[in-house]
Amino acid sequence: MDSDLDSMVRSIVPDKTVVSITGVAAKLGEDSREYIPGILSITEKSIGVFIEWRPSEDPDASWVMTTDDGNSEMVDRSPVEKRNCGARVAFSMDVNDLSSFRIEEPKRGASGFPSIRLICRDGSSQVPLFFRDSTTGEFIDRLQGYITLRRSHRDATLVVVVDQKSEALAKSVSMLDENGDILSRFMQNPYMTAMTGFSKITSFVQDQVIPSVLNDTDAVTQEEKIRLMRELRLAEEHMRVHSDAAGEFEVVTQLDLPPRPEIYRELPVSKELWHSFKLSNGSYDPLKLHHLKMNVFRGGLNAELRKEAWKLLLGYRQWHETDSEFEKRRTELAKQYHNMKSQWMAITEDQEKRFSKFVKRKSLVEKDVARTDRTVPFFQGEDNVNLVHLHNVLMTYVMYNFDLGYVQGMSDFASPLLFVMKDEVDTFWCFVGLMEMTHKNFEKDQAFIKLQMNQLRDLVMIVNPKLANYLESEKSDDMYFCFRWVLVWFKREFSFLDTCKLWEVLWSGQPCPRFLLLICVAILDSQTNIIIDNQFGLTEILKHINDLSLHLKVDEILTAAEAIFHQLSASQDKLPAHICQYLNIGESAVSSSSSSPSKTDSQREDL
């Protein structure tokens, strides 16, 4: 019945060709130099609007072949060859399946023809089409009658289809608890909704996205959460009257970078080497601090040194403090810790009935502690006292910073500290120092995570434009598949001991404030061919990135990231200003150092 109805509709509503452009040649294949003359059209049909290309039916139409010197010559083919090859490259595609297209214009004064390559939503693309007798203008003008187009701000040759339909937002919002009416209110009064409804939506990242990427859910589930997060981000940006990100980043163009230098990792810093930087009173020579931190960056620390060194790297102990000064201050900090610990331990069940925020955070801590690093011997087994210590540290932090409280993922940062310190007080104050570096990752608006994703995208565009263009074509250039990497500093990607080494390298603050992002770039750079050759979409990229967990070699990744830093540093005169700022090189480094000559460890900026 339905098929009969479809046939009847098609017979009643005839196809209507809106535009038909002759002299549009299709390239026979990626490696071919033969171009088949044909006709490009946009046709309205009963089932939709279609972009179609078919070979020319003119028997006198000749194929064109480019020669080695760039000129062209006519090639005669038999009717059978024309029919078979033409059918191979002919296509008909719904405009709703179009994701983007790339326009190539011949350089001024050079021979050649403008071309368009259509890219589909599934990541596939049509053969390039060359406009031999006209420009691309008429085709694009007619196409804009059916879809909204915008030129990519990162690649002038790429034109992207903008999906303005509200179904995606409706689906996103309908899946959020307690927010079922936001879409209707948004449609009636978007700016008021932005001020009221989105205060609830921002909790979506903490309540659903972070648990999804940290709790080993499958890639498809993670993709759903990340797509939702992207839709919410886009909706939020559309509703924001003044965009904070507007004009924040410069347009990045492809640069010719020098070869990456060969980098070698060094041996971990020993106790003897570490103590050679100490003065007789236990403080550290301020003139040698940079040298000491560079040693940590290049080799990490011997395990026996970590308990002493981590206190300094995390700001729990100041580099200028003598042994006696630190012990005196530690005694005071221990009192503060036990006072805060007694506060939450004294809260009764009756009080909890009227203290919902505390109860929620307590529940989150208990759930996370029960599943944090349970394969590590230090935390294995039931009734493990180390789990009690971990719970105490995290609950006390809730009282110390109740505004931030507890967010899933914080236990990932605390467990290695307890493993090294073996003491609640020392672990807690080291954790406070680490949270000073990372707390922005856990704030509700996720602005800092978004900023880092943007910065990562910018770095990939400079270091690996091929991968950047591919990710953009797959609608994955928001880099959210790296969310877990940045959120907990690769805690889930490396072994427990390798994570300790990676973190102390990052805590050294060398060679730049955003070295974490260069580690991300190094890993993605190493996976470029796998991602592109397999034509991975977002689901496949997510799965592949997740599958890298525990298969990465920390020294190889650190070496590659450092090499990328030196490669970019050698090109600082060519780099956009914001890239230099991320890397703290060039004028950015000079202005930074001159503006804060007396910066202390307690004032250090977030890594």
Residue 182: per-residue pLDDT: 31
Return all residues near 228 (Cβ < 8 A) that are at least 6 apart.
172, 175, 176, 204, 208, 209
Choose between 188 and 220: higher pLDDT.
Answer: 220
What's the pTM? 0.61
Lowest mean pLDDT, pick from 101-105, 121-125, 393-397, 534-538: 121-125
**pLDDT tens sequence across 359-411:** 999 999 999 999 888 889 999 988 899 999 999 999 999 999 998 889 888 99
DSSP 125: B
Return all residues near 396 (Cβ < 8 A) that are at least 6 apart.
337, 340, 341, 344, 428
| CA–CA gap between residue 372 and residue 449 (Å, rounded) | 23
Residue 230: per-residue pLDDT: 57
CB 296 within 8 A of CB 313: yes
The pLDDT > 90 percentage for the chain reads: 35
Amino acid at site 414: A
Sheet holding 148-151, edge to edge: 72-75, 63-66, 34-36, 24-27, 129-131, 115-120, 98-104, 158-162, 148-151
Domain at 11-161: CATH code: 2.30.29.230
CB 65 within 8 A of CB 52: no
Q: Is the pLDDT of residue 229 over 70?
A: no
Q: Which of 272, 312, 307 is nearest to 289 (CA)?
A: 312
Residue 52: per-residue pLDDT: 93
Give the CA diameter of the chain. 96
- Bond before 377 cis per omega within 30 degrees: no
CB 399 within 8 A of CB 344: yes
CATH 2.60.120.340 fits 455-606, yes or no: no
| CA–CA gap between residue 415 and residue 369 (Å, rounded) | 9
What SS3 state is found at 68? coil
Lowest mean pLDDT, pick from 160-169, 294-303, 478-487: 160-169
Strands 129-131 and 91-94: unpaired
Alpha-carbon Rg for the chain, nearest whole angstrom, is: 29
**pLDDT tens sequence across 556-593:** 999 999 999 999 999 888 888 888 888 888 665 544 44
**pLDDT tens sequence across 45-57:** 878 889 999 888 7
**pLDDT tens sequence across 406-427:** 988 899 999 999 999 999 999 9
Choose between 510 and 8: higher pLDDT.
Answer: 510
CATH 3.50.30.40 fits 314-442, yes or no: no
Residues 183-204: what's their mean pLDDT?
A: 39
Return all residues near 354 (Cβ < 8 A) that are at least 6 apart.
none
Q: What share of the chain is helix, strand, coil (3-state, %, to 5)?
A: 55, 10, 35
CA 339 to each of CA 262, 343, 345, 346: distance values in angstroms, whole numbers, following the listed order: 52, 6, 10, 11
What SS3 state is found at 214? helix
Alpha helices in 305-438 (DSSP H): 306-313, 323-345, 349-352, 356-369, 385-400, 410-421, 424-438
| CA–CA gap between residue 431 and residue 515 (Å, rounded) | 21
CA 482 to each of CA 7, 220, 450, 568: distance values in angstroms, whole numbers, following the listed order: 48, 15, 11, 22
Residues 127-154: what's their mean pLDDT?
A: 82
Average pLDDT, the chain: 78
**pLDDT tens sequence across 473-506:** 888 888 888 888 988 899 989 999 999 999 999 9
Domain coordinates in residue numbering, the chain? 11-161, 165-253, 314-442, 455-606
Domains 11-161 and 455-606 in one fold:
no
